[in-house]
Amino acid sequence: MVGIIMGSQSDLPIMEQAADFLKKLGIPYELTVVSAHRTPERMFDYAQKAKERGLKVIIAGAGGAAHLPGMVASCTTIPVIGVPILSSNSIDGWDSVLSILQMPGGIPVATVALNGALNAGILAAKIIGTSDEDVSNKMQQYQDSLKEKVLGTVSDIKAKHPNQYD
């Protein structure tokens, strides 16, 4: 249901965060390497056949010039979520962020934070949840767990540093 692609194997530790989240929610995904620069034919084929393979969302991670998310978005009507990755050939990751963020009008790519594959997985699940009640319910449970986690830390801090605010 979700395609997860990356420019090279070195991106795998980041992109696995999205896969792990989707796996936890029971959302089917595929994960592979598709390079916009080194395997352009594979990239075109992947994007053009994604819909017929049943994909609903594509998460594309790339470092450096980061053309993969935008090029894939230009070849499919499926929503694409771009994950800029801090790569070894980047000074600070801004090249990847801006390459994905600054898409021309008509070819949108939803963009998450640098190395933000977890958020890409969460966003993909939310998109799928708009038409899948089971996924929507799982996302609500996930968000509720975040609330409980924060409230738990509030109690811990208040125990050490008493104050009057609940």
Residues belonging to the binding site for substrate are 8, 11, 38
pLDDT digits (tens, 9 = 90+) for 29-71: 999 999 999 999 999 999 999 999 999 999 999 998 889 999 9
Q: Do residues 106 and 28 share a domain?
A: yes
Q: Do residues 119 and 165 share a domain?
A: no
Q: Do residues 113 and 162 share a domain?
A: no
**Count of structural domains within the chain:** 2
Residues belonging to the binding site are 8, 11, 38
Residue 108: CATH number of its domain: 3.40.50.1970
Q: Do residues 35 and 82 share a domain?
A: yes
pLDDT digits (tens, 9 = 90+) for 73-90: 999 999 999 999 998 888
Q: Do residues 122 and 139 share a domain?
A: no
**Owning domain of residue 160:** 132-166
Is the backbone of residue 10 left (phi > 0), alpha (psi -120 to 50) or beta?
alpha
The pTM for the full model equals 0.94
Beta-carbon contacts of 130 under 8 Å, excluding residues fewer than 6 positions away, are: 136
Neighbouring C-beta atoms of residue 137, cutoff 10 Å:
11
